[in-house]
Structure 1
Amino acid sequence: MDPLTSGLIALLAIVIGGSVYALQQMNERINQLQFSSSSNDALIEDDMTVLSNALNDLIDEADASRRLSGSDTLLKSQQLIESLISGSKFELSSFNISLRNLLSLFQESTLEEDMKRLDSIRRELLTNHIQIIQENNVEMKSLFGRNDVQCRNFSFICNYLGFRDLALSSLLESERIAPRHENTLRRLAAIARESGDDTFLKTRLDRLLQLYPDDPELLRERAHLLFRIGDPDAELDSRRLEALGLQNAADLALLAGLRERAGDPASALEEVNEALQENPEDSNSWHLKARLHYVRNEPGRALNALDQLFSLDRQHGPSWTLQSKLLSKEPNRLEDALKAAIHAVALGEPEWILKADLLMQLDRFEEAISSLQSVLDINPDNGLVRAHLSLLHMLDDNNQAARKILVESSPSAWECSEMHIQKGRLVLGEADVARDGTGLHDRGLVKGALTFFDTALSYDRESALAWVGRARTLRQLGEFDEAEVSIVRASRLDNENPMILAEYALLRIDQGEISEAERLVHEAETSLSDKDVLHYIRGLIAAELGNYPEARRRFDTVLVQDPKHVRARLNRATVAVLMNDHSLALEDSELLLKEYPNLDLARLRRAESLMGLGKWEWAEVALREIIERKPGHVPALISMGATLCALDRAEEALPPLDEAIRLESDNPNAWHMRAQFYIEQGALPAALADLESAIRAEPSHMESLLHAAAIAHEIGPLDRAESCWRRVLNLDPTNNIARTRLEELFSKKVV
């Protein structure tokens, strides 16, 4: 082996030996580090355990601090409970303090969430308190006084914890304190549904419907409930849903069931006839037979059945009432109808109004008044009779007596819809007399009448008369859509009352639907006994259509039968002015002012009549009376300008016309009259400007269109004149003046 090789081998051995040694040293170091790491991990784990235990101790202390917050109130409550359980004497004052402290954390709006978050300590304490209340028969009013909110909260807590009886008694106490609280009533209704107590449920539904009389779900539930317990009033709620237009299939089925239960008249008649064959001396069966014939509109057979009944029993009061109603439909038997009504009243039937109405039909007004007054002498709180007595005085044009009867009534007499309806009628009458020169009613009075009709509906939502009154007030206020809703509801409640159709016709006239108004009047004509109403409405329709002779004839007919008919006379005066019969208009307006000195519309008609008769000085006096009473009376200011122009006092005519335009810049008559003033003064450009303003205010104002075209024709240019005449023809294609003038313009253009 050469020296080089030996050297290399020795060097390799040294390197390998060094590497092995280094690896051994590194391995020992790694083992030391692993041991050190394990030791450190153990130390860290021990430290974390200590820290965790300390943190848990802190949490427990914080939780304990939270649970026992409030100056040891919970500890004191716990001590109180323990002392009572161990036999200590029950003291209400200390127990009440403890209970109220526990309940102070609950809010009515978040009760369910509060109970879910309730800790075990408080839950147990509340349960113990409730058990002690039960064991000691503690009354709710001694715990909570007059606090209905705490009663409701406590009821919820009791129910949540399973103490149903105590929950109910607490809720009943809340209802006693606040009988009309919605939440209380709804919770009680829910309890009643769960327990199946129909009587209890009906009471709460009744009270909820006093709060929300048109709530369809409440109405529907009560209707089904009443049907279930056999109460015939179920049909009232079903009819209210029908009137609201909210009937569903279930409601219709319910109504069918009600009518089936009530019995079909034809089937019922067959049954009663069989009963009479077996026992022909049963007066009640004869009465039922008569009623069924009455329902079937068979008056002759009904009267025959009553004759059979009276041969058996002449002291059957309801039968005398039925006979009176049957005979009252025959004009030549009103005396017999009255005798039957008197007999019914003598037998104890409350048919005083039927008797009074028959006396009125026989023109025995004083006896009618006396008969109703005698009832009030015995029972002054009878609101139904008092309202009707007031109505009779009102129909006799004695509004002062009618008002006095209502004023003298006690508060209990007002607890019926009829009193409020009659008060609404009187206020509407005052508004009718207080019409201004434009024919508009006093809005304050009409709104006052509306409140009375609304109050009447709060007592009886099924009063068709109240809905009609509401419709009339809304119509006079110009709220036609709302008025239609009310009149439709009235017709659903009483589809046989022709006066409802008459009011509907008046609404259609105000809406400009004349053909529909005519249809309604024709429909009412077949059953409305008061033909004066029909003549009056047909007069209004004729006036709207421009048929003034027919309108006057209708108003004449009304006034022959009722000379005190204010609106008929007022409308006849208006029609007379339009027909240039100024003498008749003057006569009617003077008669109206004699009876109603504050009727400004009659004052204006008088002034217009004097103007038409050429009595300008007297017209000025009449107009100044109106303007002094109401300085901003625009129609009077316009007429004053025309009157002063006619009196050749042009310098005085302009100020009232300027004032009328200032007050009502959209009044075409004011602009047109001032244009007439400028024409008189020869200021044609100014006149044309005012006429254009009138046309902008009312594009169909024919007089302004004609005058504007005439001035443009005179002063030019030709294109403008042609445009003005074409505006006339667009509105009235048959206007000969406009056609002639246009031909003249074409001739000028050709030349």
Structure 2
Amino acid sequence: MEPFSLMFGFICLIGGGAAGWGLNNKLLNPSRQSSTIESLEESKRIDDLIQQNFNQINEKLTKLSINMEYIKKYDIKMEAVFIANEALQGNADLIDALEKLAQFIPENADETYLPQIDSTISSLAEMLFEAISDLGEISPNTARKAGLLALSSGRTHRAKSLFESAYELAPGHSTTLGLLEHVSVLLGNKLDQRHWIEAQIELDPDNEILLRKHAHLLVQLGDDDAQKDVQRLRALGLDTPADRSLLSGLMARAGSMEAALKDIDLALEEDPFRAEDWLRRAEILMNGEDHSLALESVNKCLELDRQNGEAWALQARLLSCTPRLKEASKAATHAVALGSGGIELIMLKADLLLTLGEEEKAEETIDRALNEHSEDGEVLAAIADLRLREGRFTEAWDILQGAPTGSKNTQLHVVEGRLHLITADRTRDGTDITDQQLLSQAQMSFSKAIDMDRENGLAWLGLARTQRLLQQLELADESLTRAERLIKEDEPAVWTEKALLCLDTNRLEDAQRHVDAASINGAGAVLSYIRGNLSARAGNLVTAKSHYDEALSIDSSHVRARLNRCSIYMALDQEQAAYDDANVLLEIAPKSQLAKIKRAEALMMMGRWKSALDDLRDVTLLAPHHHQALTFTGACFIALGHPEQAEGPLNEALRWNTDFAPAWYQRGLLYLDWEKPEAAISDFSAAVKADSQHLDAYL
């Protein structure tokens, strides 16, 4: 029994006892019944007794009131119950009373907490909801908790209204979104349920439970976008046999080719002059990879309707896979002129014209598309990607920088990230400070792409590459695994990136295996570059050089292959060849500080110390922290007979990197020249400590 009920009964018991005692004395006393006239003394005595009893009752009630105040003070729940009762009687504010009851709901309570709500609290809340016509302005937390109270009392629509108020005041609260989803399920509103699940996925895009729930709901709604959820689960490595079964069912539901073909053939038997039916038939056959029959059907369509742009687009796609490239080019031209096929046909037309040797017309096609679709992110991304693949990086940057803010899409961010990687390759100086600044921009672009489309495999691949270059190797492995699950299995770029990651983690056998897997789908400059790195790691410098030669014969602009070959030349004492490679690098990438370092190193080997100093000054001017350039500067001053100018750069080099053995060694030589043997021995010891393989320091 509740404390309030106990106290109320106790008060009634005391009052009833007192009244009964008074009546008993008044009615049942024989002396009074027999007497017709009561004496004043007797009456006064009775009045005194009654007054005494009432005083006792009043004293007990006062004590009881004090006890109640004590209970209210130390039992918050009891206080809330009293305030709610007073509010219902008009003696307190209804909203305050509701807030008092709501405080017993935990901050992040959801629908699973409903069975734990006290029945008294729930009943009082229900009565308060009856009495309250307008809740007015309340905090989002109070609105959410009050919504749970409404749910506990069976007021689903009132709960929905309260949860919506909480959402308007704090739209990013995950618990509120979950409760709104729960209410939509109770009300049987699947569209609302979808909306609130998708809002939760925006906050937590890789939530396994939400993705699976969303997929099943979309299946119920007949929406094939459910495939995206299952693909994301697969990319996360969280897909189950049930998920794979769901995906299979979705693909089957997308339409059996035989059944679809049968239906369209029946329609054409009834009316063979419907051009759109012939086009539909061609599309079905093309999806079934029966290209010859698809071409026949699309030709029938064009016989009936020469202005059918989609038919011309389909014919162009089909013919582009055959030797009939001139016909394919004409079909693509018709499709583009009729505004059909989108950016895919524009790019196909340009590619066909290039293949046919009509470069000027191809350029006109691209320029026209750029002018006519200057606000279309998809078009801008495709053309920027083309310029990037052509090595026309400045034009690609111009397209990206000119893109309107609202046109930015996933592919634009991916292209931007790739351009940042190329820029980093061409301007990096080999130090963590500069290289991280350059690579962080690429990382930001790929992350933006992933935020927009988490099923974009190329974005994950780009992020993996960037993380590897930043030496975030565990993150790179995770991103690469995700990319591998989203990109088709025979994509060489995934295998080459896996090989490069294995190289960075000293798993050389695995790197070789991944290179072999990538080579199944054709050779490339990157594969030869990786093979060169593997040979160099094994100490086979001549073999490494031959692989770099091969890489540069395929792609003469491959910066890293040429840098590595330059190093190999110097290791083989072929300083002139190294110098020539460094010059070519600076023609390709004039801002490459690494190329200047390599050229300075080659010049030092050739004894051209002043020329080397010129390159080193350029590097340290842009990167004062470049410990290698500072060390080489010191070495040049020593060789030129200016040891007094060498100590400063060497000290600076060691300030930036105390583990750089060549700097310790060069300063040790300087101290030997100054006849400071103890200081020299100390520096040589530091060099050996920094690099136990530094033989010159040992000697």
Shorter-normalised TM range:
0.7 to 0.9
Name the residue aligned to 1:251: 243
1-structure distance, mates of 2:456, 2:553: 33
Choose which of 193, 214, 234 in structure 1 pairs with 2:185: 193
Choose which of 411, 435, 445 in structure 1 pairs with 2:428: 435
Choose which of 209, 226, 230 in structure 2 pairs with 1:217: 209
Choose which of 465, 468, 472 in structure 2 pairs with 1:475: 468
* Structure 2 residue 96 is matched with structure 1 residue 104: no
Q: SS of the residue aligned with 1:442?
A: helix
Contact 1:465 1:490 in 2 (8 A): yes
Letter aligned with residue 189 of structure 1: E
Name the residue aligned to 2:331: 340
Name the residue aligned to 1:356: 347
2-structure distance, mates of 1:533, 1:326: 31
Give 1:238 shift: 0.6
Cα deviation, 1:177-196, whole Å, max 9, x if unaligned, reads 54443222111111222333
Contact 1:341 1:351 in 2 (8 A): no
Name the residue aligned to 1:183: 175
Distance 1:705 1:572, change over 3 A: closer
Q: SS of the residue aligned with 1:580?
A: coil
Name the residue aligned to 2:380: 386
* Structure 2 residue 514 is matched with structure 1 residue 517: no
Choose which of 108, 111, 116 in structure 1 pairs with 2:118: 116
Contact 1:434 1:441 in 2 (8 A): no
Choose which of 437, 441, 450 in structure 2 pairs with 1:444: 437
Distance 1:205 1:436, change over 3 A: same
Q: Equivalent residues in 2 for 1:83-102 (5 A)? A: 98-102=93-97
Distance 1:74 1:637, change over 3 A: same
Contact 2:84 2:124 in 1 (8 A): no
2-structure distance, mates of 1:367, 1:347: 18
Choose which of 148, 158, 164 in structure 2 pairs with 1:156: 148
Give 1:488 shift: 1.6
2-structure distance, mates of 1:628, 1:698: 28
Distance 1:486 1:685, change over 3 A: same
Cα deviation, 1:399-448, whole Å, max 9, x if unaligned, reads 4443333333333212x212222232233233222211459862122122
Structure 1: unaligned runs, 5 residues or longer: 1-46, 81-96, 712-751
* Structure 2 residue 128 is matched with structure 1 residue 126: yes
Give 1:615 shift: 1.8
Name the residue aligned to 1:499: 493
Structure 1 stretch displaced more, 306-315 or 504-513 = 306-315
2-structure distance, mates of 1:665, 1:300: 69
Choose which of 568, 579, 582 in structure 2 pairs with 1:575: 568
Structure 1 stretch displaced more, 277-286 or 332-341 = 277-286
Give 1:289 shift: 6.0
Distance 1:294 1:674, change over 3 A: farther
Name the residue aligned to 2:226: 234
Give 1:221 shift: 0.6
Q: SS of the residue aligned with 1:109?
A: coil
Give 1:476 shift: 1.0
Distance 1:666 1:513, change over 3 A: same
Distance 1:276 1:580, change over 3 A: farther
Contact 2:87 2:94 in 1 (8 A): no
Name the residue aligned to 2:19: none
Letter aligned with residue 378 of structure 2: L
Contact 2:83 2:97 in 1 (8 A): no
Give 1:640 shift: 3.0
1-structure distance, mates of 2:164, 2:98: 19
2-structure distance, mates of 1:146, 1:433: 58
Q: Equivalent residues in 2 for 1:306-705 (5 A)? A: 306-307=298-299, 310-311=302-303, 315-329=307-321, 333-356=324-347, 358-360=349-351, 362-363=353-354, 371=365, 374-375=368-369, 377-378=371-372, 380-414=374-408, 416-437=409-430, 442-495=435-488, 496-527=490-521, 531-559=524-552, 562-594=555-587, 596-650=589-643, 652-653=645-646, 656-674=649-667, 693-699=686-692, 701=693, 704-705=694-695
Structure 2: unaligned runs, 5 residues or longer: 1-51, 73-77
Q: SS of the residue aligned with 2:64?
A: helix
Contact 1:437 1:602 in 2 (8 A): no
Contact 2:630 2:649 in 1 (8 A): yes
* Structure 2 residue 200 is matched with structure 1 residue 203: no
Cα deviation, 1:507-553, whole Å, max 9, x if unaligned, reads 2333333343333333333435x834444444444444444445444
Q: Percent identical across equivalent pairs?
A: 32
Give 1:256 shift: 2.8
2-structure distance, mates of 1:665, 1:659: 10
Q: TM-score, normalised by structure 1?
A: 0.72
Give 1:235 shift: 1.1
Give 1:635 shift: 1.6
Letter aligned with residue 106 of structure 2: S
Give 1:600 shift: 1.3
Contact 2:261 2:284 in 1 (8 A): no
Distance 1:550 1:316, change over 3 A: farther
Structure 1 stretch displaced more, 252-261 or 339-348 = 339-348
Choose which of 254, 259, 273 in structure 2 pairs with 1:262: 254
Contact 1:356 1:369 in 2 (8 A): no
Distance 1:468 1:160, change over 3 A: same
Distance 1:707 1:120, change over 3 A: closer
Contact 2:87 2:97 in 1 (8 A): no
Letter aligned with residue 432 of structure 1: D
* Structure 2 residue 64 is matched with structure 1 residue 59: yes
2-structure distance, mates of 1:73, 1:296: 70
Higher Rg of the two aligned structures? 1
Q: Higher RCO, 1 or 2 (CA under 8 Å, sep at least 6)?
A: 2
2-structure distance, mates of 1:631, 1:64: 75
2-structure distance, mates of 1:120, 1:430: 64
2-structure distance, mates of 1:269, 1:554: 52
Name the residue aligned to 1:749: none
Contact 1:144 1:150 in 2 (8 A): no
Letter aligned with residue 500 of structure 2: L
Distance 1:326 1:678, change over 3 A: farther
Contact 2:597 2:616 in 1 (8 A): yes
Give 1:601 shift: 0.7
Q: TM-score, normalised by structure 2?
A: 0.77
Cα deviation, 1:151-193, whole Å, max 9, x if unaligned, reads 4344333323322222223333443454443222111111222
Contact 2:353 2:361 in 1 (8 A): no
Cα deviation, 1:346-387, whole Å, max 9, x if unaligned, reads 444342244225525744666556545545655543212222
Contact 1:323 1:340 in 2 (8 A): yes
Distance 1:231 1:672, change over 3 A: same
Distance 1:173 1:68, change over 3 A: closer
Distance 1:605 1:76, change over 3 A: closer
